[in-house]
Amino acid sequence: MGLAVIAYCDVTPWDELSESARDGRSAEEDGVRFRNDPAFATRLAPLEEGYYQATESHREYIGSYHCYGEWRTWLSQTFPSAFQELVDFSDCDGSLGPDAVCSLLVDFQDWEEQVRDMAETPSPDGDDIASYFETFKQFRRCFEAAASEGVVQFT
pLDDT in tens, 97-153: 999 999 999 999 999 999 999 999 877 776 789 999 999 999 999 999 999 999 999
Q: For residue range 61-82, what is the model confidence (pLDDT) as tens digits?
A: 999 999 999 999 999 999 999 9
Extents of the domains making up the chain: 3-154
Report the run of H or E that residue 68 belongs to, with start and end.
helix 65-78
pLDDT for 153 equals: 95
Torsion of CA 95, 150, 79, 154, to 10 degrees: 30
Say how many C-beta atoms besides its own lie within 10 A of residue 144's C-beta: 16
Of residues 65, 107, 61, 62, the one with CA closest to residue 84? 107
Q: What is the pLDDT of residue 61?
A: 96
Please provide the DSSP assignment of 91-114 as one string.
SSSEEE-HHHHHHHHHHHHHHHHH
Q: Is the model's pLDDT at 18 over the cut of 80?
A: no
